[in-house]
Amino acid sequence: MAADIRKLIVIVDETRKEMGRVVDPPARRALAIAVIANPYAGRYVEKLDELIDIGEELGGLLGAECVRALGIAPGQAESYGKAAIVGEAGELEHAAAILHPKLGAPLRRAVEKGAALVPSAKKMGGPGTAIDVPLGHKDAAYVRSHFDAIEARVADAPRANEIVVAVAVTASGRPLARVGGLQKNEIKGEDGLR
């Protein structure tokens, strides 16, 4: 079943200066958010297959929207993350059905490779609820410069029968990263960790 998408929001965030210092190149992050109908709102359903399939559809769609908004080649994506906010007529497990079983594979195709786990967050909420989408390097989770988060929020969603699904993709790490750890030029990118 295809997702009933009420609205799609794409955001690009570009930081050119931080603490008086020029960020060169600018730190650039994209966020793509779909507001969808929750097919299981208002009732307990044991098997969540429809939402699992919707997750697969949205992983590809939202990942591609982020890459396009950044104006980069898929292989230039550096970090990613995902999150969902379930309206009050749903349950937290609905977010898990979207995010965990099938969303990752098409998202990884959209950013090329993606050896690392896609970090995630989920919550219940109403219109205007904000969620901080965690970010981590797409090929090596331990890259310290790329641990970050971007706030996702839709003023009029989720309504009770809706779910807000967000995917974030960046073309950089934090603006003035300088707390050491594994550097992106040191990674092997095989096990998803280092």
Partner 1 sequence: MIDIRRLWTQVETIHHEFGPRPPRPQRRGAIAAVLTNPYAGRYEPNLLPFMEALNPLGVELARALLAALRAQPHEIEGYGKGAIVGSAGELEHGACWHVPGGYGMRQVLGNTKAIVPSAKKVGAPGAKLDVPITHVNASYVRSHFDAVEVYVPGHPHADEIVFVLAMTTGPRVHERVGGLRASEIKGEDGLR
Whether the ω angle into residue 134 lies within 30 degrees of 0, i.e. cis, is: no
Give me 46's structure tokens.
Answer: 């044991």
Region of 7-15, 56-64, 105-113, 114-122 interacting with partner 1 (CB under 8 A): 7-15
Contact (CB, 8 A) for 71 and 65: no
Of the candidates 44, 155, 180, 185, which one interacts with partner 1 according to CB under 8 A? 155
Q: Is 176 in the site for partner 1 (CB under 8 A)?
A: no
Q: Which is closer to partner 1, CB of 7 or CB of 188?
A: 7
Residue 17 binds partner 1, judged by CB under 8 A: yes
Using the rule CB under 8 A, is 1 a contact of partner 1? no
Is 188 one of the binding residues for partner 1 (CB under 8 A)? no
From the CB of residue 42, how many other CB atoms can be counted at a distance below 10 Å?
Answer: 10
Q: Does 13 bind partner 1 (CB under 8 A)?
A: yes
Q: How far is the CB of 80 from partner 1 (least distance, A)?
A: 18
The answer to whether 12 contacts partner 1 (rule: CB under 8 A) is yes
Stretch of 54-62, 88-96, 134-142, 148-156 lying at the interface with partner 1 (CB under 8 A): 148-156
Cβ proximity to partner 1, 5 vs 45, nearer residue = 5
Confirm or reject binding of residue 10 to partner 1 (CB under 8 A): yes
Contacts with partner 1, residue ranges (CB under 8 A): 5-18, 69, 150-151, 155
